[in-house]
Amino acid sequence: MNRLILASITLLALACNRSAGPSDTLSAAAENAKKLAQNAASVAAPKPVEPKDLITDDKIGRYIIYQKEMSSVTGLVMGAAVGAFTKSGGNQKGFEKELSGDERTKKIGEVSAAALAKSGLTQMEVSQLAQIITPYTTGVTIGDAEMKKKAREEFTTKFGPAALAVMEKRLSELEKLQDEMLGAAFGKKK
C-alpha cells in the first residue's frame, strides 16, 4: 500500500513540476516526492472498504468506467514497467527510481486522475476491486466447465451469493474489458 501511495505521490509531483526546465524537472520532482512521501507516512492510510460494500452493481459499473479510461494508456503502463524493470535488473528500489524518471508516468498519472474523477472511485477502491474482479473474471472465462464452476464456487464462498449475482450480471462487460485491456497491453487492435 505504501508503494502505491509513493507511486501516486511521485506521479503527482511529476505532474506538478511541468513548468520546470528539463534538467530541473527530475531533481525537483524527486525532492517533492520525498517531501510528500514523508508527509504521507505520518498520515494514517485510509481504511480498506469491506468487499461486500464494493461488490455492488454501482461500484462494478464505476470500475468498468475507470478501466475503460485507463485502457488508453495500457501500452504506456506496460512499456514504462518493462523498461524500468529491465534497467533496474529487477531491484525494487531501482525499479521505482527508473519508473519515476520515465516521462510516460506523467501521462499515466493524468489519465489515472481523470479516470478516478470520471468513475467517482478512490484509488483504494479501484485497487480493491481489481483484486476481486481480476481473479473472478479470469477464473470464469478461461478453462473448461469444471474450472469455471470451481471459480464461481470459490467466489461465492468468499463473498456470498449476492456478490456472485452482481458479478454474473456484469460478466459480459468484464470479459470484454479484460479482452480490451489484454489487447492494449500487447498491442493488438480489435
Q: Per-residue pLDDT tens for 90-130? A: 888 888 888 888 888 899 999 999 999 999 999 999 999 99
pLDDT-derived band at 154 (thresholds 50, 70, 90) equals very high
pTM: 0.70
Q: Per-residue pLDDT tens for 17-71? A: 333 344 443 444 445 445 444 544 444 556 777 888 899 999 999 999 999 999 8
* pLDDT for residue 12 is more than 60: no
CB 109 within 8 A of CB 17: no
- Give pLDDT, residue 126: 96
Task: Please tell me the distance from the alpha carbon of residue 168 to that of residue 37, in angstroms, as a whole number.
Answer: 40
